[in-house]
Amino acid sequence: MKPLTLGALLIVLSEIFLVTSGMIIRQVSEDLPTEMIVLMRNLLSLVWLLPWILKYGRKEIPTSRIHLHFMRAFIGVTAMSCLFYSWAHLPLGQAAMIKQTAPFFLPIIALWWLKEPISLRVKVAILVGFSGVALILQPNQGVVHIAVLVGLAGAMLGALAKVTIRSMRGSESPNKIVFYFAFFGSILAALPASMNWVTPTFEQFVWLFGLAATSTLAQLLLTRAYAIAPAGQLGPFTYASVIFATFMGWLIWQEAFNVLTIIGIVVVCCAAVIMLREKSPVK
């Protein structure tokens, strides 16, 4: 299987798990603050990784790129906090679409950091994509919901975190990257959570354990994908999650969407197709 094909498959699976995570966040956010959800997601992810830690930890965990792991965790936890807030306060499909603005940031960040060139086709795709996003987000009476701005900030930081993953692809395994994210993420999330502490009930704990499972699986798949294919070319494959999230939001929470939303999704998907047809640079 070609690297881009395999990477695309992994991205689609990752996005489905991430939407499932968003549904769980929506479920628990009524009673738990975002800070607690972020902390428990990272702590419980370490529990899911425990079999790998016990079996391979002594050999796999040592690293010479600890600074990149910490930077990735700092950026990632900040992005996670922003995106969790948007999942909790916006319609599911809209929150998913905001998250999907990250691929349009990816080529720009990859150019700045990894020196991956941006072709005219990709530049056009970025402009078309953000036009579609504007149609989907359509501020009510000229007022932009604060959760939209927070979500966009999270998407941009998430794109930066993904490019950080690509910069470590030569020496760090996907499991190692996910482990250090959960480890440093737990430390970084502990202080905000302690300032707004709410002890989860048993039912909430079960939901949070499921959140850690789906998020960790999504992250493992995503980390593997960005390690084997260029960051800017994988972005278009994430848009299946928007359809999935919109459908689940309608099915479970009866969230309506209008004609402009549908047009916006079509425009964004067209932008994704434009990027998809971009050929890989010669290695």
Which residues does the chain have with pLDDT short of 70?
103, 110, 113-114, 116, 137-144, 169-170, 231-232, 235-236, 272, 275-283
CA nearest to 279, candidates 68, 63, 59, 122: 122
Q: What is the pTM of this model?
A: 0.78
Segment 105-134, tens digit of pLDDT:
777 776 776 676 777 777 787 788 778 877
pLDDT for res 280: 46
pLDDT for res 278: 57
Looking at the DSSP bridge assignments, the partners of residue 143 are 140
Alpha-carbon gap, residue 107 to 219, rounded angstroms = 20
pLDDT for res 283: 37
Q: Which helix (H) or strand (E) holds 186?
A: helix 174-194
pLDDT for res 118: 72
Tokens 């707004």, located at residue: 196
CA nearest to 185, candidates 74, 50, 47: 74
pLDDT for res 114: 63
pLDDT for res 198: 94
The domain limits of the chain are 3-276
Residue 258 CB contacts under 8 Å (≥ 6 apart), including other chains: none
